[in-house]
Structures are given as structure tokens and as C-alpha cells.
Structure 1
Amino acid sequence: MNLGIRRAAAVLAAAGLAAAAGALPASADTTVPVTGGSGDWGVKLSFRNYLKSPVAHGSTEVAGGVTENSDGTFAFPVVSGSYDPQSGDTVVQFGGSVHFEGHGGVLQITIEDLRVEVVDGEGTLYADMASSSPSNPALTEYDDIALAELDLSGGQPSLNGGTLSLGSTPATLTQAGSTAFAGFYAAGAAMDPISFTATVANGSGGGSTPPPASGQSANQQILADVAAGPLTLSVAGDTVQLSTSTLDGNGAYQTATGALNTATVSDLRGTNAGWNLVGQVTDFTGDAGTIGAENLGWQPSAAAVDTGIGAPGTVTAGNTVQPGQGLGVARTLASAAPGASAGTFTAGAQLSLGIPADTVPGDYAAVLTLTLS
């Protein structure tokens, strides 16, 4: 896509035309080229955390010289730009890209060719983007969009010697940015702040901004935009092989045993509304006969997953059900009561299939369905 570099060149050309038209004498053109440096931007913390969750099972890939900082934000290389010390107008073009992917590749967002522009004291963050989502799986490209508006009330870009810098600056998602972000956040959402330190040719330029004197202080408002999440169920596998049947201790009937594949429930709705996970099995059928569904019993277990962020909710395992009164009807595997259901939880069960004495030997199969509500 790379429209950002062409746009930056156009801004530089426009500055030269303005001088030629008489806005400034040609000899008074104070614009200096930006030649290198680095900028830091994390895109959005809540989105990065969402990708790491068991819901999205996501990943992040950087390219073109972008690196990941220790705090999870990204360092973008400065490749070109310009700065006018008289007007403060600034263009800083960054190279490289960041690619986000989740939900098995259905959710994809690529951001590349970032560019910061400051014109007449107003700041904008531009980018080339491409995205897809479960509601719009076709990958769509967005060239050179105004991704976010920058709040420069805390400070404009400043030149000190040969170093041009912009401190941590709040960014707000535009409508165009919301669309290119696959509608994941609404226009007006607070994105991560952006900053950069760049070099300019010949160390030209105007004044510098001195650091605060000893004993002074400065405040920064910290904003967070928390997106509503879903209630989801995932299972570690789709097949359970029970053991070969054996007589019980009294020789009364045969049993086959095994373990249910682990189920994971994630409640990220933020409502603590509670949930219930139940299981029910069909009859076991084989080439020579049938074993009734009521003959499969289970001993459930459940646990909360400690993610290290906040206290996990509380989960309760369902009751043990013996073969003969088993899973021919829906039985609770695990549940979380309202007020304590938020978080991620695992559930499983030891299975026991009681086999009636008149069962014809052979292979039998049934389908156990887990339902989350």
C-alpha cells in the first residue's frame, strides 16, 4: 500500500510551493528534513490483551523494522519527514507494519506506513490498513486513512539541536479508523498514546522546550476503554476412547471408563450474570445392538483459571451421576452463580459406562453434547 510515503512527499512539495508563491521568501524557507529515529505506539492495550485471551487465541506479527517493546507496545522506524520550526508544521513518516490475527484467522488487522502530521497546531495519525472480521470475512484494504486525531494540548513537536521529539500524546479513533479497525471500537475510542524521537538534517531549527525545574510536577489523565466480551465454550478434543470393558468388583456388570476432554468456559461479558454448562448423551449404537444413554455416568470436576489479573470467579462442579441414572437427560457439568461468574474456567469429568449383561460384544458409539447457557 505505501501511500504514506507518497503523501509525505506531497506535503514537502506543498511547503516548497508555498514559499515560491510568496508566503515566505525563498531564502526564508525554514523547513528541515527528518532523516531517522523511532516512534512508540501500542495501537490499543485492551485489543492486545483480547488477542492473548483464550477467546481470540490470537497472535501478533511485526515486519519492516518494527520491533516489540518490553511493555508490549511497538517501536516504528522513522524513514522520512519534515519540520518547520517557524510554523511547527510536522510530517514524520514511519516504516514497517504490525499484523494482528485472531479467531483462527477470521479476525485480521494490518497497520502499516504510519504517519504523524501536524498542520496549524492540529495533529493527525494516518496509516494504510487492511482488516477482516467474523461479520465481514473478506479482507478489505484502506489506503492512507486518517486513523486517529492527536491531542496536542500537552505539547507540540519540538526541536532541540538536531533532535525532533513528541512526548506521549493521546490519540482518538476516527470514524474512518473505526471502519478500518473492523468496527472493533467505535469512533471516539481512546487509542494508545503515540510518541517519537527523530533526527533532522544539519541539526537545524528553532528553540527547545526546557525540562521542568526541580520540584515541579505534571499530571497525566489515564483513560481506558473496555470492550464487552462474549460468553464462549471451547473443548480440547472431539473424541473420547473409553477403556475396554471389565467386570466390576462384584462381577455384576461390566464397565468402560475414560475422561471427558477438557472444556473451557470464558465469561468476558462484564456482567457477572452467571452461566450453566450441561451435558447429555445419545444412546450408544453398534452393529449388533444398543446401550441406553442412561448407562453413561460421570464424576465432574471444575476449576477457575488464575490469569494474574484480578480475582477469578467461582465455579461449581456438577453432581456425580452413576450409570443407570446417567446422561440420558441433561446433567450439569459445571456452573457459576450470578455475581461470581466472570473469568475463565475449565471443566472435565471421569466417565463410566455401565454395560448390561445381555449386551452383544462389538464397537459402540454415542455423541455427548455440551451446552452453555
Structure 2
Amino acid sequence: MPEARAARAAGAARRRTAAVVVGALALAAAAAVLPAPSGAVPGAAAATGASSCTVSGATLSWGVKESFRSYISGSIAKGAWTPEGGATYATPAFGWSSGAGELGDDAAGDVATGDVAFTGSVRFTGHQGVLDTTIADPVLRFTSPTTAQLLLDVAGTTQEGVAVSSPDVPFADVDLTASPVDPATGALSFAGAPATLTAEGAAAFGSYEPGTALDPLTADVPVACTAPVDVEEAAVASDADPGASQTATSAPAAASGSEGASASADAGPTTAALAWSAVAAGALLGALAWLLVRRRRLAVSASPTAHDDEETP
């Protein structure tokens, strides 16, 4: 009888152990094929809710101020101006070309803000060298669909002989009301936009009061814009059509060559898969430990000494 009871106990223990081991292996198998969490939608990380426009080949034409040019070339100052570094002059305006930059969304969601930078300078001299002022590297800064600023590096001496060295001076406010920014047209072109001297410009230039009307600006700013992508819509589309998501994400990888392929190959398991693997491993180890303990107890119960003790009244 004791031997039969021990045999039945051992069989039951083996069945329970087998069930636990099978369950642990099932958990491990599930972890191996567990998909990525729904929040980690391929392609959604690259999606953006913002639009952007790249600018290249822009041109700018501006005469600074006609009365100032007349004063420089007149009989009092007996001076001149010299375009340098790519700037040009064709009466009645100075010219800059090859402007480049980017425009992005403003607070209202319009693609209307950003900088377009040019290179080149104009040096004004007069009064036998007392006046020697250089304006250089203009930046056309769009601040809204209807406003912009002209920034200039100003250096040298004013007509009063005051030394100045001021980079990126917000020199003039530009009114674009008559030609509002509209990147959808493929170019931001405006002609004769009114410009007024700012307080910073007046301090750096030293010849006129803030608010003085300057010569109007004319510019042609070609743009290439990317349409905005809604992050939530991209995620929903990716869930609905994984193949489309794969196509969208494979294009950048192909463009980047071996780097894109390496990044895809190095992608590790998801956090959820790692968690399930840990649970499965813990269950398997627990089953093995329980099995060892159970076997030891069965061995003890099946020993002759145990039988003798069990049969002793």
C-alpha cells in the first residue's frame, strides 16, 4: 500500500510538472511572436503636424534710401558706394541673389515665418573718409503673412564719425499687406513693399530717426513646400494598412543606403516582448525548482525508512 500511494503521488507530481512546463513554454513562444505595441506605428515617428518650405535662389532689390544716395554722391559728402562680395548696383537699387533659407508654421498654422539669407555688402564712403559705413549680408525675416523685417550687419563709422559694429541689426520693418505670403504659389514675390527704419537701425546707421521711410523692397523668393502630415491620421492609416506603412518607411531606408539597412537590421525586440520573455523565463525556472523539490520529497517518502516509520503504530 505505501508503495502504491508513493507511485500515485509521483505520477500526479509528474503530470503537474508537465503542465507547468508546457505553460511556461507557451508563454515563451507567445513572447517570441508578440507584435509591436500599437503606439509604435512604423512611420508615425516621422510624421509631423507642421509644414515647411525650403528656399533657394531668392533675389532681393533695395535702394536703401534715395535721398541718402543723393547725399553721398552730392557735392557735400563727395562720396561713393561700392558693392562687394556678390552684391550689385543698377540704378536705382542694390541687388542680392542666391538667397536661401526655410519657412515654417507661425502661431496661426500658416507657413509664413522664417529667414532667407543673402551674402554681399555695400560700402558707403564720404566726407573724405569720415563717413565709412558698410551694410552686409541682408536677411529677409518673415514674421507673419503680412510682415517681415530686413536684418543687416552694419559696421564702420557714421557720418558723425561714430564707430559702429552691429551684426544682424533688425534694420527695417517691411509691410507685405499688399503682397501677403502664400507659399502655395511656389514663390513669394513682392514688388515695392514699404519699409521703415527701426530704432535699432537708426542707432546703427546714425543718419535718420526711427520710423523714417526707406526705399521699398522687391524680392522673389522661390519655395518648395512639404504638405503637413497629421500624426494621428498617419497612425490610423498605418494600423489599417501595414503594407502602406512598410512602403512609406522603406523609401527613406533605400535613400540612405547601407545605413538604413543597418538600422533596420539592428532593431531590437519590443519592450512588451522582453517583458513576456521575462515572465516566461520566470515561470520555467519556477517549474524546474518545484520539480526538484517535489522529486526530493518523493524520494524521501519512498525510502525504506519512511515506509517503516509509516507502518509503525
Q: TM-score with structure 2 length normalisation?
A: 0.52
Q: 1:194 aligns with which of 184, 195, 217?
A: 217
Q: 1:117 aligns with which of 128, 138, 141?
A: 141
Letter in 2 for 1:76: W
> CA offset at residue 164 of structure 1?
2.8
Q: 1:108 to 1:31 in 2, by over 3 A?
A: same
Q: TM-score with structure 1 length normalisation?
A: 0.44
Partner of 1:135: 160
Q: 2:102 aligns with which of 60, 79, 82?
A: 82
2:172 alignment partner, SS class: strand
> CA offset at residue 163 of structure 1?
2.6
Letter in 2 for 1:157: V
Distance 1:68 1:50 in 2: 17
Q: 1:41 to 1:55 in 2, by over 3 A?
A: same
2:78 alignment partner, SS class: coil
Q: Does 1:165 align with 2:185?
A: no
1:164 alignment partner, SS class: strand
Aligned partners of 1:159 and 1:205 also within 8 Å: no
Aligned residues: 178
Letter in 1 for 2:77: A
Q: Does 1:64 align with 2:85?
A: yes
Query: Which ranges in structure 2 are unaligned for 5 or more consecutive residues?
Result: 1-45, 229-313
Q: 1:167 to 1:58 in 2, by over 3 A?
A: same
Distance 1:205 1:42 in 2: 36
Tell me which protein shows more helix as a share of its residues.
2
Q: Does 1:146 align with 2:170?
A: yes
> CA offset at residue 126 of structure 1?
0.9
1:28 alignment partner, SS class: coil
Aligned partners of 2:55 and 2:100 also within 8 Å: yes
> CA offset at residue 62 of structure 1?
0.6
2:202 alignment partner, SS class: helix
Deviations 1:142-196 (A, max 9, x none): 1111101112222223336543323321111011101111x21111100111121
Distance 1:77 1:185 in 2: 27
Deviations 1:237-284 (A, max 9, x none): xxxxxxxxxxxxxxxxxxxxxxxxxxxxxxxxxxxxxxxxxxxxxxxx
Q: 1:189 to 1:134 in 2, by over 3 A?
A: closer
Q: Does 1:52 align with 2:73?
A: yes
Deviations 1:56-93 (A, max 9, x none): 11111111211112x22111113311124733224211
Distance 1:32 1:133 in 2: 38
Distance 1:154 1:146 in 2: 22
Partner of 2:128: 104
Larger CA Rg, structure 1 vs 2: 2
Percent identity between matched residues is 33
Tell me which protein shows more strand as a share of its residues.
1
Deviations 1:216-240 (A, max 9, x none): xxxxxxxxxxxxxxxxxxxxxxxxx
Partner of 2:273: none
Equivalences for 1:1-373 in 2 at 5 Å? 26-69=47-90, 71-84=91-104, 86-121=110-145, 122-137=147-162, 139-159=163-183, 161-181=185-205, 183-201=206-224
Letter in 2 for 1:91: D
2:48 alignment partner, SS class: helix
Letter in 2 for 1:174: T
Distance 2:197 2:167 in 1: 16
Aligned partners of 2:117 and 2:140 also within 8 Å: yes
Distance 1:35 1:67 in 2: 19
Q: Which has the higher contact order (CA 8 A, sep 6+)?
A: 2
Q: 1:205 to 1:55 in 2, by over 3 A?
A: farther
Distance 1:124 1:135 in 2: 26
Deviations 1:12-66 (A, max 9, x none): xxxxxxxxxxxxx943331111111211011000000111111111111111211
Q: 1:64 to 1:158 in 2, by over 3 A?
A: farther
Q: 1:161 to 1:154 in 2, by over 3 A?
A: closer
1:185 alignment partner, SS class: coil
Letter in 1 for 2:219: F
Q: 1:127 to 1:133 in 2, by over 3 A?
A: closer
Aligned partners of 1:65 and 1:96 also within 8 Å: yes
Distance 1:205 1:76 in 2: 29
Partner of 2:261: none
Distance 2:47 2:133 in 1: 44
